[in-house]
Amino acid sequence: MKKVVKFGGSSLASAEEFAKEGAIIQADKDRKYVVPPAPGKRDSKDTKVTDMLYNAYALAEKGKNFDKELKAIKSRYQEIIDGLKLDLSLDKEFKKVKENFEAKAGSDYAASRGEYLNGIIMAEYLGYDFIDAAEVIFFDKKGNFMPEKTDEVLRDRLKGCERAVIPGFYGAKVDGTIMTFSRGGSDITGSIVAKAVKADVYENWTDVSGVLVADPRVIENPKGIETITYRELRELSYMGFSVLHEDAIFPVRTSG
Ligand code: ASP
DSSP per-residue letters across 192-233: HHHHHTT-SEEEEE-SSSS-BSS-TTTSSSPPBPS---HHHH
Ligand 1 close to Cβ of residue 185 (< 6 A): yes
- Render pLDDT for 159-168 as a digit per residue (tens, 0 to 9): 989 999 999 9
Q: Which of 52, 61, 54, 56 is nearest to 103 (CA)?
A: 61
pLDDT reported for residue 206 = 85
pLDDT reported for residue 240 = 82
Looking at ligand 1, which atom is closest to the CA of residue 245? 8
Q: Does the structure show a pLDDT above 90 at 46?
A: yes
- Whether the model clears a pTM of 0.75, i.e. scores above it, the answer is yes
CA of 9 to the centre of ligand 1 (A): 7
Residues 104 and 61 sit within 8 Å (Cβ to Cβ): yes
- Render pLDDT for 4-40 as a digit per residue (tens, 0 to 9): 999 988 888 899 999 999 999 999 999 999 999 999 9
> Helices marked H in the chain — which ranges?
15-26, 49-61, 67-83, 91-102, 107-126, 147-159, 186-196, 230-238, 249-255
Looking at ligand 1, which atom is closest to the CA of residue 184? 8
